[in-house]
Structure formats: C-alpha cells, structure tokens
C-alpha cells in the first residue's frame, strides 16, 4: 500500500509560493500547511512526543496536556489520537473556534482560560492551569513547548535543511516568533552549516519576546506575554515588530490576489516587506515561512465585524477591497 499509515507521517516540505508580483519584492513563502494538522506545528508535535516516548515519560495510559493558542493543540490532538493518548489543550479566548472544534473532533478536550495575565496576555495563566492539572493527576504529561528543545530540533532537522536544499543561495530568511521553536531551529542550523543568510525574527507589537512594552494582542500564533526560555538572540540578525493592523492589511491584500494565508503569515510578510525596504534589500533572495493558511481566521482576520470591533472602521477602509458590483436589491454580503 502506498501513502502514510498515520496522519502525522504526512509531512510535505517543498511547497513554495512566489509572491513577487503581489508584493513587488522577490519573496517566496514556504508553505507549512499541507499536512493533516494544517500547520508547521505538526513537526514540533511529532518531535516532542517521540522524544517523550523514547525517554519513558510517555507510556501507555498517559495523557498529554499542553498550553497552546491553537495550532500546536491541533497538531498534538492528531498525533495523540493516532498513538492512543488522551489529550487536553489549555487555551484562551483568542484561539479560533475552528481549532477548538478540530481538537474535540479527534477526541481531545479543550480548557479555555479567561483570566489574562499581568502582561495583557494569557500565557502565564494557561501555564498555571497546566501545572494545576498535572498536580492533580499523575497520568498527565506536560510536553512544555516553551522549554522543550525538541521543539526547535524539529526545525533544525527538517525545516531549515529543506530550505537550504531548495534555495542554496538564500540571502534573507524571515521567521515569525511565537514559542520561537521554528525560529531557533532554523537559525541554529544556518549557523552550524556556516550559511551566510541573515535570519530576521518577526514579532507582534505588544509581545515581550524580545523586550519592549507589553500590550493587548488579538491575533493568535505570534508574540508572547512571557519571554520564551529558548530565545537566543545571538544567532539572529535582526528583529522587527509588526502592528496587528498591518497584519490585517497584508492578509487582506494577499486574499484579494487569491492567497488566503493565516494571521501569522500576514505578520511575517508585513515585517519582511518593511525590513527589506528599510534595509535597501528589495532585490535580496528572500524566503518567509508561512505557518498556516487562512481558513482558521475567517471569523477573525477576514471578518469585517471582528476587525471593526478590535481595530476600528478606519482600518477596514484602508484595506484592499474587492471591486463593487451593481447587484439588484439589497443582497447581503454574507448569509451567516
């Protein structure tokens, strides 16, 4: 029989989209969404679970618990279901309903933490709940994506080598910063193979991953309200912070060209285009990593009411819109 026997075995690592015509800069996007978890997080999920099994930490009857804003939770739920583990995802109100329902569809349980932490986020609150759950039941195993070196090792072993193989003359690599697993894995690999490409981290305004002032953020995926333990700025060539309004504009600009990418991708591309222009590197051979696609953001980034509520109607007016059509009668834009 041909094909993957388990859902987590379907890892497609060679899909790129050339966005030079849309963005007016020579930038290619490495699409990490063409697997059954729908995001780059499947690599980290597979790596962390395999390591926990090898060490004996995970065994038959164990239950995995993890804090996640969404995509890692989906990835872990798929791997856990395939391997016969129970799974509990501790998330927060910013996670998409789509992700929560997908976790539950594969047999996982979702715990939504509603109390924000002191830095306007939910990460510290989610971790507190995870620790409380682990203290109440010895079956629970917390993989701890924030400190687990197998998070970044997944990208050291898979993502970065795949990029260099496809684009050996890469000059600039843009990677979004969440837990920083993808970022650190790629940066360490390029350093260790002595590749000259610059690695630029892209973060959200309001995140404190690289310092700065904490502030409210509404788009999950990138940014943290607590500095991730695995951050190592010594292997980075720069950091750029992107306002979420610019994320919305980028996502909607790409969507009008037929590319429906997720919020994290919009942030990375907004940061990449701004950095390339400011650095005078518009002709650089550039790749940006796209963690997921946009179907999980239809009720947020691509929903006019949600955008107006969180960012104001002026942002909607500044976004690229489709041309107006002369339709008969008062036909609503959506039948929701």
Q: Are 218 and 94 in contact (CB under 8 A)?
A: yes
Per CATH, 7-34+148-297 and 41-142 having the same topology is answered yes
pLDDT beyond 80 at 147: yes
Q: Where are the domains of the chain?
A: 7-34+148-297, 41-142
Mean pLDDT score, 72-86: 97
How high is the pLDDT of residue 117? 83
- The CATH fold assigned to 7-34+148-297 is Rossmann fold (3.40.50)
Q: Are 79 and 4 in contact (CB under 8 A)?
A: no
How high is the pLDDT of residue 225? 86
Kind and range of the H or E run holding 309: helix 304-311
Within 10 A of 185 (CB to CB), how many other CB atoms are there? 27
Bridge partners of 29, per DSSP, are 17, 288
Report the distance separating Cα 228 and Cα 286, nearest Å: 26
How high is the pLDDT of residue 320? 54
Grade residue 129 by pLDDT with cuts at 50, 70 and 90: very high
CA–CA distance from 73 to each of 139, 202, 224 (Å)?
Answer: 18, 22, 16
Q: Residue written as tokens 């047999």?
A: 107
Find out if CATH 3.40.50.300 is the number for domain 41-142: no
Report the distance separating Cα 318 and Cα 141, nearest Å: 46
Task: For 96-120, write each residue's pLDDT tens digit.
Answer: 898 999 999 999 999 999 988 887 7
Q: Provide the 8-state DSSP code for 227.
A: -
Mean pLDDT score, 67-78: 94
Q: Are 234 and 205 in contact (CB under 8 A)?
A: no
Task: For 228-285, write each residue's pLDDT tens digit.
Answer: 899 999 999 999 999 999 999 999 999 999 999 999 999 999 999 999 999 999 899 9
Rounded to two decimals, the pTM is: 0.92
Task: For 284-294, write each residue's pLDDT tens digit.
Answer: 999 999 999 99
Maximum C-alpha span of the chain: 66
User: 94 versus 49: which is more confidently predicted?
Assistant: 49
pLDDT beyond 90 at 324: no
pLDDT beyond 60 at 12: yes
């Amino acid at each position: 029989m041909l094909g993957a026997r388990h859902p987590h075995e379907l890892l497609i690592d060679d899909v790129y989209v050339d966005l030079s015509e849309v963005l007016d800069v020579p930038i290619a996007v490495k699409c990490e969404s063409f697997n059954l978890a729908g995001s780059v997080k499947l690599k980290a999920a597979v790596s962390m679970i395999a390591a926990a099994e090898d060490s004996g930490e995970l065994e038959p009857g164990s239950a995995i618990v993890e804090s996640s804003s969404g995509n890692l939770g989906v990835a872990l739920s798929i791997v856990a279901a395939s391997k016969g583990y129970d799974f509990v995802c501790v998330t927060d109100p910013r996670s998409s309903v789509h992700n929560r329902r997908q976790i539950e569809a594969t047999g996982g349980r979702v715990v939504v933490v509603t109390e924000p932490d002191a830095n306007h986020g939910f990460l510290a609150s989610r971790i507190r709940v995870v620790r409380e759950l682990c203290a109440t039941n010895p079956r629970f195993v917390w993989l701890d994506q924030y400190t687990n070196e197998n998070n970044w090792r997944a990208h050291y072993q898979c993502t970065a080598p795949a990029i260099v193989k496809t684009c050996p003359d890469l000059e600039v690599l843009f990677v979004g910063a969440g837990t920083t697993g993808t970022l650190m894995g790629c940066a360490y690999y390029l350093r260790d193979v002595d590749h000259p490409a610059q690695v630029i981290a892209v973060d959200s305004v309001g995140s404190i991953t690289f310092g700065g002032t904490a502030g409210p953020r509404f788009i999950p995926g990138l940014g943290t309200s607590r500095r991730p333990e695995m951050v190592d700025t010594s292997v980075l060539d720069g950091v750029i912070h992107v306002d979420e309004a610019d994320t919305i504009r980028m996502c909607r600009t790409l969507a009008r060209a037929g590319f429906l990418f997720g919020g994290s991708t919009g942030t990375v591309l907004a940061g990449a285009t701004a950095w390339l222009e400011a650095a005078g590197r518009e002709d650089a051979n550039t790749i940006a990593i796209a963690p997921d696609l946009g179907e999980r953001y239809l009720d947020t980034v691509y929903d006019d009411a949600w955008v107006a509520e969180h960012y104001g109607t002026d942002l909607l007016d500044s976004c690229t819109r489709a041309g107006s059509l002369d339709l008969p009668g008062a036909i609503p834009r959506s039948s929701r």
